[in-house]
Structure 1
């Protein structure tokens, strides 16, 4: 049985994917106390990147918004793998996003809105967060976008 967060995802026509296996020596997510930190999540779909390249060149800003949304979905899957139930999220504290950017591309904040808006849609006020959107030269596997999140959990009784 899925909780309110997964029901909200289903209402958007989405479901949590399998956790993306690590590409190197790290864990997809780690918990310490009441906080869960995800590793950077690429926009993997069924184990593959749907598109590669730089935003503003090979990848349109509109495509990149959707890719950031996929990254956030993958991040939620990583969080669930650690806590079991996404309804245990008290709030998303921080989102950090990286955008592989063509020279002169300055729309990183708009790209990361894909991740931020998804979190708001499925978590409501609990999805409102601080955020950094950073342009970079290249990301792993030539991914256009990478997103990591930090969440605070509801205290356990």
Structure 2
């Protein structure tokens, strides 16, 4: 087990199998010494634990936890193309999409769920640039979607 997977286990988490794409794409692509993941939904056991708009059907704190699940799913996608998460030198960028009720403006706090998890797992190497975007709807009515770019050796 890699040191990254050990830290995940200490947080009560484990890498799931890579989620099957829901359309015409691959979960992750290597470009030089970077991996770009596709947007990851918060699948657990092949199911979305919640659906709907954040600020309406989904509580922001629940959505933040779901964003953390998205980040773990993104790490699974990274592992599928580089083999060992200990090769990650830096989390470079995180982009989070939040399916938002029109009156909801707390997208940054929701995406913190992914950012904070990556910080717990990677320490300083988990510090990253980020965008948090509110959208009208996401695939399968997911409340959140997260994509990650990492640099590896």
Match of 1:69 in 2: 68
Look up the SS of the partner of 2:101 in the other structure.
coil
Residue-by-residue CA offset, 1:52-94 (whole Å, 9 max, x unaligned): 0000000000110110000000000000000000000010000
Match of 1:110 in 2: 109
- The alignment yields a C-alpha RMSD, in angstroms, of 0.5
Look up the SS of the partner of 1:96 in the other structure.
strand
How much has 1:32 moved relative to structure 2?
Answer: 1.2
Gaps of 5+ in 2: none
Report how many aligned residue pairs link the two structures. 153
Look up the SS of the partner of 2:102 in the other structure.
coil
Match of 1:60 in 2: 59
Which runs of 4 or more aligned residues in structure 1 lie more than 3 Å from their structure 2 counterparts after TM superposition? none
User: Normalising by the residue count of structure 2, what TM-score does the alignment of the two structures yield?
Assistant: 0.99
How much has 1:103 moved relative to structure 2?
Answer: 1.1
Report the Cα distance in structure 2 between the residues aligned to 1:23 and 1:13, rounded to whole angstroms: 27
Match of 2:29 in 1: 30
Report the Cα distance in structure 1 between the residues aligned to 2:79 and 2:122, rounded to whole angstroms: 14
User: Normalising by the residue count of structure 1, what TM-score does the alignment of the two structures yield?
Assistant: 0.96
